[in-house]
Amino acid sequence: MTEFIQATAFGLLIGGVYALFASGLTLIFGVMKVINIAHGALLILGAFLTFTLWDELGIDPLAAILITTPAMFAFGYLLYLTMIRPLRGAPLSSTVLLTFGLALVFEAAMGLIWGNESRSARPSYFDQSFDVAGIVLPKAQVYACAVAILVLSLLWIFLTRTWAGRAIRAASANTEGASLVGVNIAGVSALTFAVGVATVGAAGSMVSVLYPFLPGSHYIWIARVLSIIVLGGLGSLKGAVVGAALLGLAEVYTQTYISASWATAVPYLLIFIVLFVRPQGLMGTRLREDVAV
Amino acid sequence: MTERILEVLQRRNLWRLVIAAGAIALISYPLLSDDLYYQNMIIISLLFAIGATGLNVIMGYGGYISLGQSAFIGLGAYTVGIGATKVGGDPFVWVPVAGVAAALFAAFLGVIAMRTRGFSFVIITIAALFILQIVAINWDSLTNGTSGITLPLPRWDISIQNWPFYYTLVGLLGASLLLSWWIRRTKIGTGLLAIREDEDKAATIGIDTPVYKIIGFVASAVFLGMAGGVYGYYLSFIDPSGMFDIVISVQIILAVVLGGRGTLWGPVLGAAIIEPLNEVANQNFGGGNSRLLIFGGLLALTILLLPKGIIPSGRELLEGRTRRGRAALVGVRLGPRAALNETPAPVPAPSGRTLLEVDGLEKRFEGVHAVRACSFAVEEGTITGLIGPNGSGKTTVFNLVGGTMRADAGEVRFDDRRIDRLPPWRRAYAGLGRTFQITRIFPGMTVLENVVAPLRSFSWRQLRAGAVSGEETATASGLLEFVGMQEYGDQPAAELSFGQRKLVELAQVLMLDPKLILLDEPAGGINPTLIARIAEIVRELNDRGKTFLIVEHNMPLVLGLCDPVLVLARGSCISSGGPSEIQRDPRVLDAYLGEDFELEQPVGAP
Amino acid sequence: MAEMLSLRGVVAGYGAGDVLQGVDVTVQSESVTCIVGPNGAGKSTVLRAVSGLLRPSAGSIEFKQRDICRSSPAEILSLGISQVPQSDGLFANLTVRENVLMGAYIVRRERKLVERRLAEVGELFPLVSERGEERAGNLSGGQRRQVEFARSLMLDPTLVMLDEPSVGLDPKALKVVAGAFQRMVEAGKTLLVIEQNVRFGLRMATQGVVMESGRVLMEDRADAVLENPEMTDLFFGGTATAAPQAPAKG
């Protein structure tokens, strides 16, 4: 029983970080209807930046989000202006292909800059754990999840209590209605993309502590985010959080009760199973384009 | 001088010569040269070309992107590897089995992901690639895991070198091209194109979209699987990372995008460009990251700067210079109509039999109860009108009857059969046709191709039939004459005016030989002459036994053409009767003018 | 009463053919002007031309004696004209309060102003405070319409244009909407309303305009227009202009 509780706790902790990771993609999709396949690579980029800050300057990886988040925000903004905006009128397939190409470019760039060995940031608490009533919770996971929840909360506050956030949500609901009230859709798209990339940068900082990573790791993360989409739908942040939690639990249970190596297959298996049973995704939102007239 | 060059470049025969020369060079190369290095390059190019030609079928024709094509290479390679080492026999014998394995896997993936539109397919293809890799790593009793499978060296005479691999791949490329060419000119091809242009519309003209998509995807996989088997034997070492390599997937996609989606030779051209680049990356930059950088970057750049690809862009450039005045043809007054040249079947008198019955239909969208407890019947042989104010639910009812939307509750019965659970193409087979309020035809095809595209039934044999051929072409041409668009058969549909599109859409629907035709605002947005023509057409068809249900706002048209007239208001049918009755029905007047609305106090001051 | 908005000889369209073929409409201040007409008459196009989404190719549009033909939607907003689009103008995933707040988006920096306006609008539409935290998408049709009206008032516009506010509403909801109009006029607004529901529209209005095929057929006091027998003709059977009579079936 303790094993089960421990696994569940672990899965939820991981799920928190996954939720932060997926939130950026969901946000971007909501406003711009773009699936950013480079999302995983951006995560790893955040991880590498954090690693360098830790390795060279001794900055705690989780604290490093104060630096990586704004840096990734700026990068995201730049990316939007140079790559995404030119494709505004193009069919969705174009952005899928473009971001796929970009993902590989990022992977290559990271390999050239940082090399292809596996890295991991190891702050002091790296291999320590909390013991809570017989359940062992690694400190890194707990801190990471706490920070993830914090960042998600900040994101939530941004989206619900600031004008910019409301503009983003309005544009995602109804682009024409939003421009009628004076929202600058182009500006909002750029902002949304930048925010999306910034959150994934923050998630990257956490990943640098939690998992060993190398440039090629982004594929497993693409699979994770796609599986979260399939589980939770593309429409809402809430869906992303639920999907993330489910994925986290599924991975940890598989790892505990089956084997660690099969655990890497979990995101893919979930994708297959869910799509087989329910082609429109579990929460039914927007995986299947509902019929237009 | 430039004119002359351009003119020469446009000649088909020039390009045929180029292709023929290329083919001869390809086939004779190993016979003339011993250079293994270049032979290797060509072999890899062939692999890319086969992959790209296949991918082109589902992506270029069908518009569905597969990011994981190298899954089939790996699957094919492992089939050959496992077969040859664990079961025995010459690896080449296992190559066809590899093709079958790839085809089955593609069918499996297709069944999972192609029942719906949207992103599921892209997601599944990436997932498939990686999951196969994981299986290959973990199932080591079968695959030897990361140690890989080593195939015994070939046993043929060393002087033959790589010829078996080389020529098998050449053969596979030829087969792949043949398949792609064949698909393009059969109904499968037009079906895929229709799906790419407008999948929902394709469904309403009798195209069983999931089946077509799966066929297209299987076609993209089968030769690639075989090529993968050959490739694995060629390398004689089959391991998870080499065989399920995402970079090869990217290279295949790049070949298609760069060369030109939807063209026959574009993928081959793309592959011929990619492989030298591959070599450059490997030799000068040490492979690995530089490969990724080059190919990922090239993909991104191509999408940004040359999205159409080389061959289509080249064509556009050439045609842009030389096309004169064809556009002027379009938009000219409509041609004369001809009578329907079908042998007039004995037309049954309106039997009073109900052809379409709608019972208790319900449909809600967020916050809006668009259709509520809607019930009405359409009698066979009539031209029935369906009118109602804005927001009364007319178009939603059409969507529910036609099958592009699913009702929350209620039944639709057509020709004594319940159809409300059937997908749109089955309703088309049953004899239901419909036009759209905003006309939908396939802009990427010619007018004739558009009219030939609809299918009255599904049969495997029919799929294999030529797209534009024989009997159907005659019927289609006849229909174009009937609506007066016979001059425009070869015109790209994208260039037609709104009114001309309406006529073509009508001809398309007639191709289904439907019993009931739903016309959604046929008079919308066109001039009176065209309205009169459409009315004429409707009458003639009705005289031959076709039933119509027409949604319209144009009152004079409805009252002059339709009998009976059904009136919808607030999502339900509130009245029906002859045109003169309807005009005098106070409920109808209320619906249009608004129920007698009394204010407690007047608003504002005059 | 002053002339608030006037269109003279406006010709406008979307490429293939002009929807408006010389439209003259005058809107007096602090009144409710209602434009009615059959489908395709060009009523919505008039609103689009005024709100800056469509530029007329001929004619003039003047608001408070100032030419606004070339103004952008944002400029027109700031001049004091706001619009409630036909349907789907609501942000379903935002709360009621957030929806209304978005009406003040272009003045969002002026905190106090926004708060004050929200309070004032809340008085006109109690729904805004009563159900402020609810997701707007969960409201009924009439309630959603009210939210949209409230939103359109946030910038304290002088002229409010409403595109078919009655669509999809049942009679009870219509009464609610009528009440809302009343309160807006009492608060000093001028309303220009497009309506397909002729009786509702003309009973609500002080001034009625009938359009057909891109032209104005009649313009008079609303009750006079409503009583005019040509009105029914317009919607059934004959028309004032020469539309082809499809020959009778037989």
Residues B414 and B469 in one domain: yes
Report B:171-230 residues touching A (Cβ under 8 A): 200
What would the pLDDT profile of A194-205 be if each residue is shown by its tens digit?
999 999 999 999
Q: Between chains, do B599 and C32 touch, taking CB under 8 Å as contact?
A: no
Q: What's the pLDDT band for B341 if we cut at 50, 70, 90?
A: low
Residue ending a domain, choose from B260, B294, B316 = B316
Nearest CA to B6 out of B460, B255, B274, B319 is that of B319
More confident residue, C226 or B275: B275
- pLDDT at residue number B334: 57
Q: Between chains, do C199 and B553 touch, taking CB under 8 Å as contact?
A: no
List of chain A residues whose C-beta atoms are within 8 Å of the C-beta of residue B128? 268
- 3-class secondary-structure state, position B442: coil
C236 pLDDT higher than 70: no
Residues B446 and B303 in one domain: no
Q: Tell me the domain boundaries of chain A.
A: 2-229
| Nearest CB to A170; choose among C85, C91, C106 | C91
What is the distance in angstroms between the Cα of B198 and the nearest Cα belonging to chain C?
23
Q: What's the pLDDT band for A287 if we cut at 50, 70, 90?
A: very low
Lowest model confidence (mean pLDDT) among A79-88, B313-322, B323-332, C147-156: B323-332
Q: Between chains, do C237 and B592 touch, taking CB under 8 Å as contact?
A: no
Report B:19-78 residues touching A (Cβ under 8 A): 63, 65, 67
| B33: Cβ contacts below 8 Å, ≥ 6 apart | B39
- Interface partners of chain B (CB pairs < 8 Å, 3 or more) are A, C
Lowest model confidence (mean pLDDT) among B397-411, B463-477, B546-560: B463-477
Query: Does the model's pTM come out above 0.90?
Result: no
Is B432 inside a domain boundary? yes
Could you give all domains of chain C from N- to C-terminal order, each with its CATH number? 3-235 (3.40.50.300)
- pLDDT at residue number B284: 79
Query: For all residues of chain B together, what is the average pLDDT?
Result: 87
> Are the beta carbons of A74 and A190 closer than 8 angstroms?
no
| CA gap B386, C241 in Å, rounded | 24
Residues B364 and B503 in one domain: yes
Can you name the residues that pair with B383 across neighbouring β-strands?
B548, B563
B-C contacts (CB, under 8 Å):
119
| Nearest CB to C39; choose among B390, B559, B603 | B390
| A184: Cβ contacts below 8 Å, ≥ 6 apart | none
Residues B492 and B407 in one domain: yes
List of chain B residues whose C-beta atoms are within 8 Å of the C-beta of residue A272? 112, 124, 127, 131
Residues B301 and B359 in one domain: no
| B416: Cβ contacts below 8 Å, ≥ 6 apart | none
Closest residue, chain B, to A267 (C-alpha): B127
> Are the beta carbons of B170 and B46 closer than 8 angstroms?
yes
What would the pLDDT profile of B412-461 be if each residue is shown by its tens digit?
999 999 998 999 999 999 999 999 988 999 998 899 999 999 999 888 88
Residues B286 and B373 in one domain: no
Task: Look up the domain containing B483 and give its range.
Answer: 354-593
- pLDDT at residue number B335: 60
| CA gap A209, A123 in Å, rounded | 8
C243 pLDDT higher than 50: no
Across the range B281-291, mean pLDDT stands at 79
Residues B277 and B415 in one domain: no
Is B15 inside a domain boundary? no
- pLDDT at residue number A291: 29
What would the pLDDT profile of C146-198 be if each residue is shown by its tens digit?
899 999 899 889 999 998 888 777 777 788 888 888 888 888 899 999 988 88
Closest residue, chain A, to B306 (C-alpha): A94
Is B324 inside a domain boundary? no
> What percent of chain C shows pLDDT beyond 70?
91
Q: Between chains, do A289 and B122 touch, taking CB under 8 Å as contact?
A: no
- Interface partners of chain C (CB pairs < 8 Å, 3 or more) are A, B
Q: What's the pLDDT band for C230 if we cut at 50, 70, 90?
A: confident
| A108: Cβ contacts below 8 Å, ≥ 6 apart | A215, B289, B290, B291, B292, B293, B296
Residues B312 and B373 in one domain: no
Is B323 inside a domain boundary? no
List of chain A residues whose C-beta atoms are within 8 Å of the C-beta of residue B204? none
Residues from C in contact with A at Cβ < 8 Å: 73-74, 77, 83, 85, 88-94, 98, 101-103, 105-106, 108, 151
Closest residue, chain A, to B63 (C-alpha): A93
Is B414 inside a domain boundary? yes
- pLDDT at residue number B517: 96
Q: Report which secondary-structure segment, H or E, holds B75.
A: helix B70-82
The count of domains in chain B is 2
Residue ending a domain, choose from B262, B290, B316 = B316
Instruction: Kindly report the CATH number assigned to the domain that includes residue B201.
Output: 1.10.3470
Note whether ipTM > 0.85 here.
yes
Nearest CA to B567 out of A240, C235, C216 is that of C235
| B472: Cβ contacts below 8 Å, ≥ 6 apart | B452, B511
Q: Between chains, do C168 and B368 touch, taking CB under 8 Å as contact?
A: yes
Residue ending a domain, choose from B297, B316, B335 = B316
| Nearest CB to A173; choose among C73, C83, C94 | C94
What would the pLDDT profile of A42-91 be if each residue is shown by its tens digit?
999 999 999 999 999 988 888 999 999 999 999 999 999 998 888 887 88
What is the distance in angstroms between the Cα of B580 and the nearest Cα belonging to chain A?
32
Sequence-ordered alpha helix ranges (H) in B236-288: 240-243, 246-259, 266-285
